[in-house]
Structure 1
Amino acid sequence: MSLLKHGLQLILVLLMLSALSVYGIDRWVSWKSKDHIISDITQVPEFQVAVVLGTSKYLGKTLNEYYSHRINAAISLYELGKVSRFLLSGDNAHRSYNEPWTMKRDLLKAGIPEGNIFLDYAGFRTLDSIVRAKTIFDTDNFLIITQRFHCERALFIAQYHDINATCLAVSDPINHSGIKTRTREVFARTKAFFDLYIFNTQPKFLGPKEPIIIEPTNTTSVDEIVEEQAEPSNKNDSQ
């Protein structure tokens, strides 16, 4: 009986440690990424490339607001002159389900030239989308477009791989509690931690490079904007 009691206590301790670890990873991911997230689209500096992370356009017969908010943000960024090229990364599981092509059609309808749109059909997971943006499409200074919870995990992955990325956090769906999504995200972050630090997981597919050709630019980075705002004024008080 004593052995059974000790066994139950051990299980309880292990469960508590696991819960604390999951919580700690979740908070660490948020902390690591907080300085590279922008919530106001008007504050986004100019980027040559934005990576739009894919999701299903419809949930049944209902438009998926996770999708529409990302696409609308991409269109607005182009119209504001803040982004010139888009890498649309998502799942292409079968002919009737093609996230990159669906996003491309909506950008084309909005008047974005086809030559400014690039497709990554092998963005099966966030890790694949972020790593492939650098290794396959040869871009290392890009804007990610997705919801804030997803921004944090995407940036966590980017930072591990020494990828220079910023994320625009678009709105969550209206009238959506997000409890189910938030719970799923907590475990997705734990998986991301193990993928990066334990298993060294790589994208499912790599292949030859498909560089996105960009022009030299003098755009100001997010870090430079923050530094400028933090610097004291050098003006002479006597003037």
Structure 2
Amino acid sequence: MFKKLALGCVVALLTILLLLIAVDRYISHQVAGMWSRDINQVEPMPVALVFGTSKYVGKRLNTFYQFRIEAAAKLYQQHKVDALILSGDNATRYYNEPITMLNDLLRMDIPRKHIALDYAGFRTLDSVIRAQQVFGQQRVLLVSQQFHVERALYIAKVKGLDARGFVVDDAPRKFHWRVRLREVLARVKALIDLHIFKASPHFLGEPEQVEFRIPEALKE
């Protein structure tokens, strides 16, 4: 009896593991070719959606955050995008991802008028849908690490948003296994939210304006 029970548990665990791997690979396959690591190969888009995360992990600078901010500045400076949407959590008066990102980008001389703040980007699904429905964007460049960009691109694809991804560097390798495990679970949740629960953002609200840089050709 015990051996049969143990075998059943092993089979169940293996089945769950295979399903998790299948979901992970399915999402990556669905968005293959829709992102780039080379900024020179990035197709110019009207706006970049930059996903927020905490700036610090304990007392250490979060390199996930650092690489996203540096990439956002470069995309704007190299005229790959004409505006930025900074989307993140605004949980308390002491934790505000969009404002933190804004302050760092201002220090990098990115014009304030071309930066829109999304304070209700509590999760990736919220950020993507709000970029389309609240900020009125139909073409968006998604900026984050590869694992995150792939999931965001899949959400955008399901929601009919024309999106591409710019993949930035990852954190040090020692953190990868934790990030990847969390991402696999996040992808399963994304599939459930999109295809079963038909989930909507926590908040939508009134439309928000994005002010774009005037292309050089139109200035002449």
Instruction: Say yes or no: TM over 0.5.
Output: yes
Distance change in 2, residues 1:200/1:216 (3 Å): farther
Match of 2:108 in 1: 110
Residue in structure 2 matching 1:71, options 69, 90, 96: 69
Residue in structure 2 matching 1:59, options 57, 70, 89: 57
Residue in structure 1 matching 2:127, options 126, 129, 154: 129
Structure 1, unaligned runs of 5 or more: 218-239
In 1, Cα distance between equivalents of 2:212 and 2:55: 29
Measured after TM superposition, the shift of residue 211 of structure 1 is 3.5
CA offsets 1:84-124 (integer angstroms, 9 cap, x no match)? 10000000000000000000011111111111000000000
Match of 1:183 in 2: 181
Contact preservation (8 Å) 2:145, 2:168: yes
TM-score normalised to the size of structure 1?
Answer: 0.84
In 2, Cα distance between equivalents of 1:34 and 1:202: 25
Match of 1:23 in 2: 21
Contact preservation (8 Å) 2:146, 2:167: yes
Contact preservation (8 Å) 2:48, 2:84: yes
In 1, Cα distance between equivalents of 2:174 and 2:40: 25
Contact preservation (8 Å) 1:145, 1:167: yes
Match of 2:45 in 1: 47
Match of 1:192 in 2: 190
Cα RMSD over matched residues? 1.9
More off after superposition, 172-181 vs 149-158? 172-181
For residues 145-160 of structure 1, the aligned pairs below 5 Å read 145-160=143-158
Match of 1:163 in 2: 161
In 2, Cα distance between equivalents of 1:80 and 1:205: 33
Match of 2:140 in 1: 142
Residue in structure 2 matching 1:36, options 34, 37, 44: 34
In 2, Cα distance between equivalents of 1:20 and 1:65: 31
Secondary structure of residue in 2 paired with 1:87: strand
In 1, Cα distance between equivalents of 2:213 and 2:125: 27
Residue in structure 2 matching 1:210, options 208, 211, 214: 208
Measured after TM superposition, the shift of residue 176 of structure 1 is 3.5
Runs of 4+ in structure 1 displaced over 6 angstroms? none
From the CA coordinates, give the structure whose radius of gyration is larger: 1
For residues 75-86 of structure 1, the aligned pairs below 5 Å read 75-86=73-84
Aligned-pair identity in percent equals 45
Match of 1:94 in 2: 92
Measured after TM superposition, the shift of residue 181 of structure 1 is 0.7
Contact preservation (8 Å) 1:139, 1:211: no
Q: 1:182 is matched by which residue type in structure 2?
A: R
In 2, Cα distance between equivalents of 1:208 and 1:59: 33
Structure 2, unaligned runs of 5 or more: 216-220
Q: 1:93 is matched by which residue type in structure 2?
A: A
Contact preservation (8 Å) 1:66, 1:147: yes
In 2, Cα distance between equivalents of 1:32 and 1:211: 31
Distance change in 2, residues 1:78/1:92 (3 Å): same
In 2, Cα distance between equivalents of 1:214 and 1:170: 23
TM-score normalised to the size of structure 2?
Answer: 0.91
Measured after TM superposition, the shift of residue 212 of structure 1 is 2.2
Secondary structure of residue in 1 paired with 2:76: helix
